[in-house]
Amino acid sequence: MNKALIENWGNPSSLHTLGMHAEIAVDNARQCVASSISASQKEIIFTSCGTEANNTAIMSALHRKNRGNRIITTSIEHPSVLNAVKALEDFGFQVIYLKPKANGVIDLVDLENALNDKTVLVSIMLVNNETGAIQPVKEACELTHKLSKNAFFHCDAVQAYGKMPINVKSLGVDLLTASGHKIHAPKGIGFLYCSQKTHISPLLFGGGQENGMRSGTESVPLICALQGAIESLPNLKNQLNIQKDLYDYTVKLLENTGFATINSNQNVLPYVLNISLNGYRSETVLHFLESKNIFISSGSACSKGNVSYVLKEMGKDNRAIDSAIRISFSRFNTKSDVDTLVNELINATKKLRKA
Ligand code: PLP
């Protein structure tokens, strides 16, 4: 990023050498992003964030309304998907929201029943941001393409990208969203994978950057920073094993406390752990931990204190929802961090019980 700020501050659209250097930097980054998901360079559109990539994918349904007006998604998507499809309802789209089972995973039979020849878009996330539940995207994609010939399959992979191997070709998705800040790039950069056979319309019109798909001068430093973050990723399979070990260790310690119930299910990406602290309001616990320099959230950070609709959709009762906290791991967390967290949780419950 620093290198780009100092050396490649030209505008990639400019014809002079400075512009050309910036363009080369963006091309290199695009190649890096593309190969991280087994795509080709032409299939990557840089965006300002995951939200913009999700909106670009979803709003493109507007231009395909002559083929059908049905959109299928899940009731546990991120608000950047849920609010986008909700906006499309005002344009006459019928949106079907698939509910998860008690384990937080959608049922493919429900998808099969919802798909018809009027379906133009299916949007299902790869990993849920509040519970870590992995959704059966590959199978959902196969069903969609088999039963709804007019439908594009979009996948919000913001929580999965850089944490588990993703191969867009073997997943079979037409569109896929990722965001840089989930893998230690700065905030303000994301991308949308759009397969070469998928023709969508842009959200932003203007000078025609990003192959006409996202006008606006490219943020070269942030794009280069994303490349840096990707190049710094460890081997994802090995890292996943290490993380699974840390996750299981955390679950075991929490179960031993006697006051924590695990809301995340077995089939999770072990970077998100959702628990309920029976009898303790999540907000109070959150502030106690914050005073110890431990930063966890209640529900999702984007919903700022709103009760978790994801846990509600999973059928959790109000007691479990009011006391739910979400622990997000990074690859830099250690067992010692977990020991500190669990000890401070025990301290929190002792102190709050007294109060
Ligand atoms: N999708 C999911 C699953 C997320 O968790 C997030 C952010 O946390 C987003 C989309 C939005 O990404 P961004 O913050 O880059 O807009």
Q: What is the pLDDT of residues 163-211, one digit of tens each?
A: 999 999 999 999 999 999 999 999 999 999 999 999 999 999 999 999 9
Task: Kindly write down the DSSP assignment for every residue of 140-201, as one continuous string.
Answer: HHHHHHHH-TT-EEEEE-TTTBTTB---HHHHT-SEEEEEGGGGTSPSS-EEEEE-TT----
How far CA 174 is from CA of 57, 63, 136, in Å, comes to: 10, 16, 15
> Predicted confidence band at 303 (pLDDT cuts at 50, 70, 90)?
low
| The predicted structure's pLDDT at residue 299 | 65
> Predicted confidence band at 352 (pLDDT cuts at 50, 70, 90)?
confident
Query: Mutate which of 179, 297, 304 to test ligand 1's pocket (most atoms within 8 Å of Cβ)?
Result: 179
Chain segment 80-132, per-residue pLDDT in tens:
999 999 999 999 999 999 999 999 999 999 999 999 999 999 999 999 999 99
| The predicted structure's pLDDT at residue 307 | 81
> Predicted confidence band at 298 (pLDDT cuts at 50, 70, 90)?
confident
The residues that are catalytic are: 302
| The predicted structure's pLDDT at residue 246 | 98
| The predicted structure's pLDDT at residue 168 | 98
Span of 253-257, 319-323, 351-355 with lowest mean pLDDT: 351-355
| The predicted structure's pLDDT at residue 95 | 98
Assess whether pLDDT exceeds 60 at residue 262: yes
Q: Taking the mean position of all CA atoms in its chain, how far away is CA 219?
A: 21
Assess whether pLDDT exceeds 90 at residue 354: no
Assess whether pLDDT exceeds 80 at residue 302: no
CA 50 to ligand 1 center in whole angstroms: 5
> Predicted confidence band at 266 (pLDDT cuts at 50, 70, 90)?
confident
Assess whether pLDDT exceeds 90 at residue 304: no
The ligand 1 atom nearest the CA atom of 80: 10
Say what angle helices 50-59 and 79-89 make with each other, to 10 degrees: 30
Supply the residue whose CA is at minimum distance from atom 12 of ligand 1.
50
Q: Say if ligand 1 is within 6 A of residue 302 CB.
A: yes
Q: How far apart are CA 261 and CA 259, in angstroms?
A: 7
Question: Average per-residue pLDDT in the chain?
Answer: 95
- Return the C-alpha torsion angle 338, 340, 344, 347, nearest 10: 120
Query: Mutate which of 55, 80, 126 to test ligand 1's pocket (most atoms within 8 Å of Cβ)?
Result: 80
Q: How far apart are CA 248 and CA 240, in angstroms?
A: 12
Q: Say if ligand 1 is within 6 A of residue 48 CB.
A: no
What would the mean pLDDT of 146-156 be, rounded to a whole number? 97
Q: How far apart are CA 302 and CA 1, in angstroms?
A: 26
Question: Which percentage of the chain shows pLDDT scores above 70?
Answer: 98
Assess whether pLDDT exceeds 70 at residue 162: yes
Q: Phi and psi of 74, rounded to 5°?
A: -115, 160
Span of 17-21, 136-140, 235-239, 303-307 with lowest mean pLDDT: 303-307
Helix (H, G, I), strand (E, B) or coil at 285: helix
User: Which amino acid belongs to residue 327?
Assistant: I
Task: Kindly write down the DSSP assignment for every residue of 1-40, as one continuous string.
Answer: -HHHHHT--S-TT-SSHHHHHHHHHHHHHHHHHHHHTT--
What would the mean pLDDT of 210-218 be, rounded to a whole number? 97
| The predicted structure's pLDDT at residue 301 | 54
- The Cβ of residue 246 has, within 10 Å, a number of other Cβ atoms equal to 19
Could you list the beta-strand ranges (E) of 3-143.
44-47, 70-74, 94-98, 119-123
Assess whether pLDDT exceeds 70 at residue 241: yes
Q: Say if ligand 1 is within 6 A of residue 78 CB.
A: yes
> Predicted confidence band at 305 (pLDDT cuts at 50, 70, 90)?
low
Q: Say if ligand 1 is within 6 A of residue 316 CB.
A: no
Q: How far apart are CA 3 and CA 293, in angstroms?
A: 32
